[in-house]
Each structure stands twice: as structure tokens, then as C-alpha cells.
């Protein structure tokens, strides 16, 4: 694994990051003392990520979805005010 002085790392950061992306990790050192290791992340590529809308056309939402269970909710939370008197 390559060790790079911090000054050189700043000067050649773009090239070094590209090397890390290609799998060539490196260490950044200051005054000869290793400080950090730089390596590629295991993040999914854009082609691997699922996009929103992948169920389009496969499911339907009822027109009354936002009102479903309204009667039961009213009874549970605001129904008969005479209860508890």
C-alpha cells in the first residue's frame, strides 16, 4: 500500500481518489507518521439502486384511502362524550 505525504496528497488529490476508486487504497502521512487510510466505499452503483416507482401499475390505492376507518377512529378518540362522566 502506498504512503503519501499530506502535502503531496493535497496536490494530487483527484488522481489519488481515482486510484482508490479503482481499488488501490493508500495512506496519508504527516512527518512520516501515518494518519489515515483512503479506500473506496462499497456504495451501490447507480445501476444497482432501485428507483422510485418500481411498483407503478402493480398496485392501486383506493380513492377513499385517506378516509378509511374514519368512523372507528372517531369512536376511539372522539366518539361519545358522555363516556367517563
- Banded pLDDT at 59 (limits 50, 70, 90): confident
pLDDT digits 0-9 by tens, 33-54: 999 999 998 866 667 667 778 7
Q: What's the pLDDT at 43?
A: 66
Specify the higher pLDDT residue, 55 or 34: 34
- Banded pLDDT at 24 (limits 50, 70, 90): very high
Q: How far is CA 6 from the centre of its chain?
A: 30
Note whether residue 24 is domain-resident: yes
CB 8 within 8 A of CB 33: no
Q: What's the pLDDT at 78?
A: 80
Note whether residue 79 is domain-resident: no
Number of H helices, E strands in the chain: 3, 3
Torsions phi, psi for 35 (to 5 deg): -110, -50
* CATH code: domain of residue 19: 3.40.1620.10
Domain range holding 14?
2-38
Give the number of other CB atoms < 10 A from CB of residue 28. 19
SS3 36: strand
Query: How many structural domains compose the chain?
Result: 1
pLDDT digits 0-9 by tens, 63-85: 888 888 888 888 888 866 555 54
Note whether residue 85 is domain-resident: no
Amino acid at each position: 500500500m502506498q504512503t503519501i505525504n499530506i502535502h503531496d496528497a493535497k496536490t494530487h488529490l483527484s488522481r489519488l481518489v481515482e486510484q482508490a476508486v479503482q481499488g488501490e487504497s493508500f495512506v496519508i502521512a504527516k512527518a512520516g507518521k501515518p494518519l489515515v487510510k483512503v479506500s473506496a466505499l462499497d456504495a451501490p452503483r447507480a445501476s444497482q439502486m432501485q428507483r422510485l416507482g418500481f411498483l407503478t401499475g402493480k398496485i392501486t390505492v383506493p380513492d377513499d384511502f385517506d378516509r378509511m376507518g374514519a368512523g372507528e377512529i372517531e369512536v376511539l378518540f372522539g366518539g361519545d362524550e358522555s363516556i367517563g362522566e
